[in-house]
């Protein structure tokens, strides 16, 4: 299989330094000490591809736009061009991405595996549409913004999907206004429809990603990490996750689970705190019709617990249809403030929806 690889090497640089995106902010990101993350994520994806399809032909651009990463993963890539960097501009740009896609299409690539965020996805999708090439595309998530449904859930998953898929389906390519996002407002825009390869065990499809509680629970279980302590809130949605993890949880209580073991069932605040480890994650679902994720029915998950944990909010699409915003009322002003703002809510096996917490 001939796989065209396009890496946006500056994608995602603005995230860890608080810029919420890299569009037009590369110099500032570097001044703040940002480091590239896209090349390493590209290597992770290509290494997974190499394990499963060692004879795949890799077509790509020179340097950090794909050739270096492909060689690090063990491939001997075919170079179809190079970025137009010069003394005044040492960074790749959107036109480099678009020209790379044009050349890969002309060389009869059978899949475009790109590394970046939503902006890169737009460049790839729009260019494929302009060329008229019916080539599927698949994203390796590396950007700050990931609102499109053309990305695999992880770089490794992208490599596994690319190594073997037997069908594609249409997916949306969205992008948001980064300047508005930095001000706390999400303005999403549908930019294109793309054909994306599907592997049911790795990436959401219309059936698996349709927002059912079952698909949602399977998605959480797929991403469970060793050594992480999971604080699982009350309710039927989180109850389905508990079942996926292999135990019958307390339907109206909070359970604590780590590495296959239930550490506390129907736990109090004290029991939760004593069960926490070095890495902790709270999984909660909003109350239907009200939208509260903390402070209603789960007071055991106290501010002290929240301060030591990451938070994942889960809900079926049906539940979210009746909720405009999410609410918090923990009794601690600082904790409430830390939770407010736009948050990704898992609604399916891989799909997430942005919802505001107030």
From 6-20, 22-36, 313-327, the region with the lowest mean pLDDT: 22-36
Q: Where are the strands (E) in the chain, listed by range?
A: 2-7, 57-61, 78-81, 111-116, 137-141, 168-176, 188-197, 228-232, 255-258, 261-264, 279-284, 292-294, 310-314, 327-328, 341-346, 352-357
- What single-letter DSSP state applies at residue 286? P
Q: How many CB atoms within 10 Å of residue 269?
A: 15
Position of tokens 């705190």?
273
Q: Give the DSSP letter string of 204-216.
A: --TTTTS--HHHH
Model pTM score:
0.56
Which pLDDT score is estimated for 290?
73
At 28, is the pLDDT very low, low, confident or very high (cuts 50, 70, 90)? low
At 318, is the pLDDT very low, low, confident or very high (cuts 50, 70, 90)? confident
Q: State which H helix or E strand residue 27 sits in.
A: helix 26-31
Separation between Cα atoms, residue 169 and residue 239, nearest integer Å: 31
The DSSP bridge pattern shows strands 137-141 and 111-116 to be parallel
What are the structural domains, with CATH classification, of the chain? Answer: 2-197 (3.40.50), 213-357 (3.40.50)
Q: What is the mean pLDDT of residues 18-40?
A: 59
Phi, then psi, of 228 in degrees rounded to 5: -90, 135
């Amino acid at each position: 299989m001939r796989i065209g690889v396009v890496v946006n090497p500056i994608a995602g640089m603005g995230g860890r330094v608080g810029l919420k995106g890299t569009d037009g902010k590369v110099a500032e990101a570097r001044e703040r000490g940002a480091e590239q993350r896209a090349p390493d994520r590209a290597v992770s994806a290509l290494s997974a591809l190499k394990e499963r399809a060692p004879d795949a032909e890799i077509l790509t651009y020179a340097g950090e736009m794909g050739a270096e990463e492909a060689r690090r993963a063990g491939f001997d890539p075919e170079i179809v061009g190079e970025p137009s960097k010069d003394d005044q501009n040492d960074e790749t740009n959107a036109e480099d991405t678009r020209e790379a896609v044009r050349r890969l299409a002309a060389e009869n690539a059978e899949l475009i595996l790109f590394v970046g965020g939503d902006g890169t996805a737009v460049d790839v999708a729009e260019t494929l549409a302009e060329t008229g090439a019916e080539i599927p595309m698949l994203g390796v998530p590396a950007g700050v913004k990931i609102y499109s449904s053309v990305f695999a859930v992880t770089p490794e998953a992208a490599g596994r999907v690319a190594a073997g898929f037997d069908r594609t389906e249409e997916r949306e390519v969205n992008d948001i206004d980064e300047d508005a996002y930095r001000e706390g407002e999400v303005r999403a825009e549908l930019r294109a429809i793309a054909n994306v390869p599907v592997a049911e065990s790795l990436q959401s499809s219309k059936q698996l990603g349709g927002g059912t509680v079952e698909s949602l629970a399977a998605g959480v279980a797929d991403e469970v990490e060793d050594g992480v302590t999971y604080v699982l809130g009350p309710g039927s949605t989180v109850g389905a996750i508990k079942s996926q993890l292999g135990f019958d949880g307390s339907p109206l209580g909070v359970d604590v689970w780590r590495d296959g073991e239930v550490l506390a069932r129907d736990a109090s605040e004290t029991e939760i705190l004593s069960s926490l480890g070095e890495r902790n994650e709270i999984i909660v679902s909003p109350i239907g019709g009200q939208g509260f994720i903390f402070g209603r029915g789960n007071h055991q998950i106290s501010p002290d617990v929240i301060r030591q944990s990451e938070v994942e909010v889960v809900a079926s699409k049906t539940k979210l249809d009746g909720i405009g915003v999410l609410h918090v009322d923990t009794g601690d002003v600082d904790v409430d403030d830390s939770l407010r703002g736009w948050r990704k809510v898992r609604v399916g096996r891989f799909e997430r929806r942005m919802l505001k917490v107030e």
